[in-house]
Amino acid sequence: MMEMENEKTHIKYLRRKKEKLLKQFGNECKKCKIKNGEYKNLGNGEKELVVLQFAHKVGFRLGYGEGRGKKKRLLEIQKYPERFELFCRWCHLEYDRENPLQGDELIPF
């Protein structure tokens, strides 16, 4: 029971930290300016909820993938905001294609 309470507290902590960072970065995609929580029109009458993502300008040794090392990643964003950009999923994918990270750009945390 105590473990479940600790997990809930941890999740709330991460949610608050991420919300604070989103506000710090303007709470909108750097490229298309869509805001977190809005719906993006995908065409054919389909819409998708926008969940903004932090993109690396330089590498980060926790590896890649959504949510991997979430607490450490959020702390890294807080400590080194200049190493990150805020994008929607679609602009993030485009950014990564246009700006592939090289191995020598990886920074240990």
Q: How much is the pTM?
A: 0.74
- Given this model, what pLDDT does residue 105 score? 46
- 82 CB-near residues (< 8 Å, 6+ apart): 57
Q: What is the pLDDT of residue 43?
A: 87
Section 34-38 average pLDDT? 94
Torsion of CA 51, 33, 61, 106, to 10 degrees: 160
Give the total number of structural domains in the chain.
1
Domain that holds residue 18: 2-105
> Which pLDDT value is given to residue 102?
53
pLDDT digits (tens, 9 = 90+) for 42-55: 888 999 999 999 98
Identify the pLDDT of residue 60: 57
Q: What are the structure tokens assigned to 84, written together?
A: 């990150």
What is the Cα Rg of the chain in Å? 15
The CA-based angle 8-12-14, given to 5 degrees, is 115
| Cα–Cα distance, 57 to 51 (Å, whole number) | 19
Per-residue pLDDT reduced to its tens digit, 12-34: 888 899 999 999 999 999 999 99
